[in-house]
């Protein structure tokens, strides 16, 4: 068994080989087949219309090539292809099903199986609460004699986690991911077990095979008809014009999809006009009128080279797997958290093991599971450390906590992490003091706590390695500026356990000064909305320590703000770009790309990354890319940096 990413890579390779050497294609090639053969446990169902798969696009270039194929297949010019309407839908990571409704009642439901023959899982499908057993009557509408609906059954991520927790408590094997869990749950022999699993479904196709109800002419209208009949249809879809807008939809959902309670691995793009479906037809494997745009994989296999223990700013000791570098979700991952020692034991991760690593969006990479079949004989279990790997203090575990802690406040690792936290963006935002500089300041004994930062001068800073006088001056300016950070940021920067930046803002607003927060009794803290016992206890413990109060006194003496000031109302900028969409390309001489994007937003405009008909201006810096050519093709105005500034200022 291999990861999706590995499968897709091998599949791609096979496709390319078969394209070059068609004489080598054999009937049993996976490119000629769909899915797994039906298992024997259920009755078999022959699908009226084969359940095909989709061809994949891994990049914008692949989408462009699809556009070229559409153009050839429909005898359209590139400009006409640019006018085609597409429906973009999220690609739900579950398993596809076919539902047959006769005279408005759910008669039969089947899995895809091998595409021709699937398994009859009607009783199990009937337990899915969101699927209508009977179609919803809408006004005078009659029900079709026969309606076949296709869709995706999935297990919400929250239900998946709940299910795995329960299985684990019962000592049973857990599911590797929500899709396997959905598939396992739908194939239960006992429908009562399926019913407990909280499966859900999204419908994405309908075939009507009689004249009672007219088949809609567009795909979007079909989806709306399904909604009207009572089916759950995914709301996160969009009818767009041309492939540039398809690309924009894919980009828009790249991060956003991680906030949904179901897993998605791409975007399914379908031609909206169903008459074009017939014109294009299908291959043995997939329709030509649809494609799946796949996001870069967020799960991959790699090797554990070693297991290290990191000490955090609160002394928490976190095991980290050091990995053979692997590309995940567009970045190279070399380390993945193992959370705590309990987790190492539960997963049974060993050095030299092959593991599946996941990095979803902005989430820190984590080890999901061990690939036991690939474990070498000499893979040795890691022992729980008894001492802090940095200061050698005996580690402690309080009460029922699974977290091991280094109790030594003066542990160099804790000091380093505390200072890194102090200077970080959401805290005091002191740019120019990175991990290396903080480490150098600590090891030279110049700085021991945040208050020492406010005593630094240029001479001391320039004595550090890799710190010229220009950088030193910048750092000093940033340190000065940090004195005026709002109280919420200061409280967050202190690094009190359980107090994140939102909680810190809440405390700042309620108490309005650090002095009052220090004096607040636990009983009062507890009554604040959102403050639980763990937080109030952590706050009390933090301020009960004389050494913490001493640092706060020195910070205040240095001029760091410890009062809550009313926020000055931000000066509204003239909305000179209201309703305008801009695309930036190339390098601007006076602005970073991100700053330019912020300016566009602040002036009421939108910055997008790809050029489409909806783009109003393309701002070209030096070395602009193909976006300028694209803009010229579409007749969109290309402007330079000076013109961009004129636009912002309303001088255009």
Binding site for ligand IVH (CB under 6 A): 52-54, 89, 91-92, 96, 152, 204, 268, 287, 290, 292
121 versus 415: smaller Cβ distance to ligand IVH = 121
Element (H, E) at 278: helix 274-280
* Catalytic status, residue 91: yes
Query: Do residues 640 and 591 make contact, with C-beta atoms less than 8 angstroms apart?
Result: no
Least distance (Å) between residue 160 CB and ligand IVH: 17
Q: Which of 91, 198, 294, 627 is catalytic?
A: 91
Give the C-alpha separation, 410 to 214, whole Å.
76
Neighbour count for residue 180 (Cβ, 10 Å): 14
Q: Name the DSSP class of 438.
A: H
The full DSSP string for 325-388 is: EEEETTEEEEEEE--SHHHHHHHT-BTT-EEEEE--TTSPPEEEEE-GGG--TT--BPPPPSB-
Q: In the bound complex, what is the minimum distance in angstroms from residue 47's beta carbon to ligand IVH?
A: 11
- Minimum Å gap between C-beta 294 and ligand IVH is 9
- Which own/partner pairs from 337-341 qualify as long-range (CB within 8 Å, at least 24 positions apart)? 337/364, 337/365, 337/366, 337/367, 338/307, 338/366, 338/367, 339/366, 340/402, 340/403, 340/404, 341/384, 341/402, 341/404
Least distance to ligand IVH, CB of residue 281, Å: 12
Smallest CA-to-CA distance from 621 within 652, 597, 649 is with 597
- For Cα atoms 405, 407, 411, give the angle at the middle one, nearest 5 degrees: 100
Burial 58-72 (b: 16+ CB within 10 A, else e): bebeebbebbeebbe
Closest CA to 122 of 101, 140, 138: 101
Contact 338, 318 (CB under 8 A): yes
The residue among 52 and 423 lying less far from ligand IVH, judged by its C-beta, is: 52
DSSP designation for 395 = P
> Parallel, antiparallel, or unpaired: how do β-strands 404-405 and 617-620 relate?
unpaired
Q: For residue 299, how many other CB atoms are within 10 A of its CB?
A: 20
Return the beta strands (E) in 507-610 as ranges.
Answer: 581-585, 606-608
CA distances from 210 to 105, 215, 290, 612 (A): 16, 9, 25, 40
What would the two tokens of residue 587 be? 């390098």
Provide the token pair at 369: 């599971």
Residue partners of 181: CB distance under 8 A and separation at least 6: 155, 160, 163, 164, 175, 197
Task: Please state the φ and ψ torsions of residue 513, each to the nearest 5 degrees.
Answer: -150, 155
Residue reference for tokens 């990861």 = 3
Q: Residue 293 and residue 91: Cα distance in Å, rounded?
A: 8
Rounded-to-integer distance, Cα 545 and Cα 84, Å: 67
Going by their DSSP bridges, the two strands 85-92 and 264-271 should be labelled as antiparallel
| 163 backbone φψ class: left, alpha, beta (φ>0; ψ -120 to 50) | alpha
DSSP lists the bridge partners of residue 639 as: 619
- Distances, alpha carbon 646 to alpha carbons 571, 640, 649, in Å: 20, 10, 5
CB-based contact 347:375 (threshold 8 Å) = no
Query: For residue 225, how far is the Cα from the chain centroid?
Result: 31
Give catalytic residue positions. 91
């Amino acid at each position: 068994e291999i990861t999706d990413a590995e499968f897709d890579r091998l599949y791609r390779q096979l496709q390319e080989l078969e394209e070059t050497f068609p004489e080598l294609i054999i009937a049993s090639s996976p490119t000629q087949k769909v899915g797994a053969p039906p298992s024997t446990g259920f009755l078999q169902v022959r699908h009226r219309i084969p359940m095909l798969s989709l061809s994949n696009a891994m990049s914008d270039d692949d989408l462009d090539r699809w556009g070229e194929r559409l153009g050839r297949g429909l005898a359209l010019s590139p400009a006409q292809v640019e006018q085609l309407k597409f429906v973009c839908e999220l690609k739900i990571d579950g398993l596809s099903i076919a539902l047959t409704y006769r005279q408005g009642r759910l008669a039969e439901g089947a899995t895809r199986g091998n595409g021709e023959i699937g398994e009859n899982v009607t009783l199990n499908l009937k337990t899915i609460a969101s699927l209508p057993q009977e179609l919803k009557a809408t006004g005078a509408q009659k029900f079709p004699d026969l309606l076949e609906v296709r869709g995706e059954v999935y297990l919400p991520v929250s239900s998946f986690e709940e299910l795995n927790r329960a299985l684990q408590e019962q000592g049973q094997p857990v599911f590797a991911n929500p899709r396997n869990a959905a598939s396992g749950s739908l194939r239960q022999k006992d429908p009562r077990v399926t019913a407990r699993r909280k499966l859900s479904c999204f419908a994405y196709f309908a075939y009507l095979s009689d004249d009672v109800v007219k088949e809609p002419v567009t795909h979007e209208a079909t989806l709306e008809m399904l909604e009207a009949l009572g089916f759950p249809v995914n709301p996160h879809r969009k009818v767009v014009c041309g492939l540039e807008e398809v690309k924009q939809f894919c980009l828009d959902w790249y991060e956003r999809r991680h906030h949904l309670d179901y897993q998605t691995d791409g975007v399914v793009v379908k031609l909206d006009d169903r008459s074009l479906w017939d014109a294009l037809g299908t291959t043995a494997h997939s329709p030509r009128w649809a494609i799946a745009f796949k996001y870069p994989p967020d799960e991959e296999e790699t090797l554990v080279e070693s297991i290290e223990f990191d000490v955090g700013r609160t002394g928490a000791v976190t095991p980290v797997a050091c990995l053979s570098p692997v590309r995940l979700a567009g970045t190279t991952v070399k380390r993945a958290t193992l959370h705590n020692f309990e987790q190492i034991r539960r997963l049974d991760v060993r050095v030299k093991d092959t593991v599946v690593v996941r990095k979803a969006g902005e989430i820190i990479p984590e080890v999901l599971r061990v690939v036991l079949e690939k474990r070498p004989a000499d893979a040795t279990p890691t022992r729980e450390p008894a001492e802090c790997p940095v200061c050698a203090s005996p580690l402690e575990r309080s009460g029922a906590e699974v977290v091991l802690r280094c109790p030594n406040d003066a542990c160099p690792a804790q000091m380093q992490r505390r200072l890194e936290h102090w200077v970080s963006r959401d805290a005091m935002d002191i740019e120019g003091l990175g991990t290396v500089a903080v480490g150098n300041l600590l090891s030279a004994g110049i700085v021991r706590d945040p208050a020492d930062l406010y005593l630094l001068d240029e001479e001391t800073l320039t004595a550090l390695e890799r710190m010229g006088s220009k950088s030193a001056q910048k750092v000093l300016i940033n340190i000065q500026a940090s004195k005026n950070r709002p109280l919420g940021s200061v409280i967050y920067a202190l690094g009190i356990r359980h107090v994140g930046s939102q909680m810190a803002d809440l405390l700042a607003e309620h108490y309005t000064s650090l002095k009052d927060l220090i004096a607040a009794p636990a009983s009062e803290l507890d009554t604040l909305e959102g403050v639980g016992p763990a937080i109030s206890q952590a706050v009390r413990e933090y301020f009960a320590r004389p050494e913490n109060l001493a640092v706060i006194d020195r910070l205040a003496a240095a001029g760091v703000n410890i009062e809550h000031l009313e926020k000055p109302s931000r000066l509204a900028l003239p909305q000179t770009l209201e309703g305008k969409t801009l695309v930036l390309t190339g390098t601007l001489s006076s602005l970073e790309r991100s700053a330019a994007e912020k300016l566009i937003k602040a002036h009421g405009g939108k910055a997008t990354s790809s050029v489409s008909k909806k783009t109003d201006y393309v701002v070209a810096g030096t070395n602009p890319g193909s976006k300028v050519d694209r803009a010229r093709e579409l007749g969109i105005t290309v402007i330079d940096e000076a013109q961009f500034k004129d636009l912002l200022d309303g001088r255009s």
